[in-house]
Structures are given as C-alpha cells and as structure tokens.
Amino acid sequence: MFWIRVKQIEVPEAQSMIDKEEALLVDVRRPKDFEASHVEGAISADKNKVHEILDSEDRARPIICYCYKGVSSRVACKNLKKAGFIKVLNLKGGYDAWKKKAR
C-alpha cells in the first residue's frame, strides 16, 4: 500500500471542485500555521491521522489535501486512500501555489 498513486491537482481545478462539487479541503500543515493563515473553508488535520477525523459519509466526496509545498500532504492522501476514501487529491505546489494563483 506504500506505493499508492496520488493524483495531483492544480489550483484552478481545485477551486472549481470546491465550488462545484463541494470538495473538502484538508490542511495538514502545523496547527500554528493553519491558525495564521489557510485556505478559506479548509479543515486542519494531522497528515497521519486525517482518516480518523473524517466522517464515513465523506468517503465518496472529493478531498483535496495540501501542506506547504505539496510533498507531505501526499502522506495524508495515501492514508485516506488506505482507509477507503475514493476521490483523494493532492494540491500541487501546496499552500504556496494557492497563495500565488488564487486571487
């Protein structure tokens, strides 16, 4: 299961999915960084435990994970996939990309 492939998603596509499909946005950065700034509507979660805090009805909902640059959020994505979540995506470039492109 370690080699689960994680689909990458660009900021514009993520924004569209959030607007149209009510995708859930999960911020896996440190809580203090989340408190300082985050994408509106995102929830904060530990990358290693994110699958434990989401409801079972979210299993079919699109879930987009992000971190600082898009690397450690892959761990969160893999944990979600292993736990049975279906449409799990990683925000390419992470929060940095969001800040640069989402204006």
The reply to whether 65 belongs to the active site is no
Task: Decide: helix, strand or coil at residue 8.
Answer: strand
**Token pair for residue 84?**
């049975």
Cα separation, 39 vs 3, whole angstroms: 28
**DSSP letter string, 75-101:** HHHHHHHHTT-SSEEEETTHHHHHHHH
Q: Select which of 67, 76, 77, 80 is catalytic.
A: 67
Cα separation, 25 vs 11, whole angstroms: 12
**Token pair for residue 38?**
């985050």
Residues labelled as active-site residues: 67
